[in-house]
Amino acid sequence: MAKIIVTYGVPADGFSLLAGHEIVIPPHGTAFSREQLIGLLPDADAVLACTALDREMIAAAKKLQLIVCYGAGYDAIDVAAATSHGIPVVNTPECVTRPTAEMAIALITSLARRLHELNALMHTRPPRELFGMGRRMGTSLDGSVLGVVGMGRIGGRVADFAHLMGMRVLYTARTSKPERDALGDTRVSLEDLMKNSDFITLHCPHTPQTEGMISREMIALMKPTAYLINTARGPVVDEDALIEALRAHRIAGAALDVFASEPDINPAFAALDNVLLTPHAGSNTLHARNEMARAASRRILDRLAGRIPQNLLNPEALAHEKA
């Protein structure tokens, strides 16, 4: 029987595949502290990492055979440390593609039609002041240009949804995407995308190369009528520069589901009425969470059976496997 640590109290139905193994999980909606994890990890065989795992924590995991990242992102895991200790790291990106794309489209639509503003007004103002044609008009998505920064799984799904609403798509990617070009999408430089898009949606990972990529200079290229949407990772955006642009109304607005220092956020965002804020809820549906647990369980079972698990991020770790 293997011991499996789940670092956060996520929906547990998906762990039924691990019946017969010991699963150590905190109460729903809570996380193990760093100190608790350091105490739990030494005799763990696998860990489902919903929170950060740093070098010291990984070094404490003397028996660990696998780290599974809960979702697509793995920037909170010290992959280099795991590799040096012979611990494979995998992620579960297939489970978050659709819900995160749905979230991005929901945010784009809310910005375009000013739904967050209208809802707040209907709750706080006399309705008679609000009804009437020509008041607080929104933007049509049909005919607008969507800029997708990072045309991977999620970016591609967002582009597919955008086509259904009549949007034209520009995108950035490290390599050409013939399948996207065949649909009429156009690969451009980041600078051209920032200049020519009405809605800019971010779907790139957080890496040393992408940190601060949406910089002051990039934001300055945006149209005054354009919106920025981030469901990727907070550090990809220069938040101070974005706050300045929003305060000065140099861009129309933004929708942010991720932040540079989450769970803390810059309080300046909450004081702005032209930014829509959500608490990293991109994949937060019950179906997606259970699918993530099932995918993680399958990877753990593969590893325990001596098979190479799906979505291995550091194959070089296999050369340093523990005896």
Spatial distance between the Cα atoms of 69 and 48, rounded to a whole number of angstroms: 6
Q: What are phi and psi of 283, to 5 degrees?
A: -110, 20
How far CA 142 is from CA of 109, 165, 218, in Å, comes to 11, 6, 25
CB 201, CB 210: distance < 8 Å: no
Residue among 233, 289, 294, 303 flagged as catalytic = 233
| Length of the chain measured in residues | 323
Q: Which two tokens stand for residue 252?
A: 């129309």
Active site residue 129: no
**Helical H segments across the chain, by residue range:** 34-40, 55-60, 79-84, 97-113, 115-124, 153-164, 178-181, 190-196, 216-220, 239-247, 267-270, 286-304
Spatial distance between the Cα atoms of 169 and 173, rounded to a whole number of angstroms: 13
Three-class DSSP category at 237: strand
Spatial distance between the Cα atoms of 291 and 296, rounded to a whole number of angstroms: 8
CB 235, CB 214: distance < 8 Å: no
Active site residue 116: no
Which of 231, 147, 143 has the alpha carbon at shortest distance from 188? Answer: 147
Active site residue 28: no
Q: What angle do CA 196, 197, 200 make, to 5 degrees?
A: 140
CB-count burial class (<10 Å; 0-12, 13-18, 19+) for 194? buried
The DSSP element (H or E) to which 67 belongs, if any, is strand 66-69
Residue among 56, 262, 316, 321 flagged as catalytic = 262
Residue among 21, 280, 298, 320 flagged as catalytic = 280
Q: Count of alpha carbons within 13 Å of 164, Cβ hemisphere only?
A: 8
The residues assigned a catalytic role are: 233, 262, 280
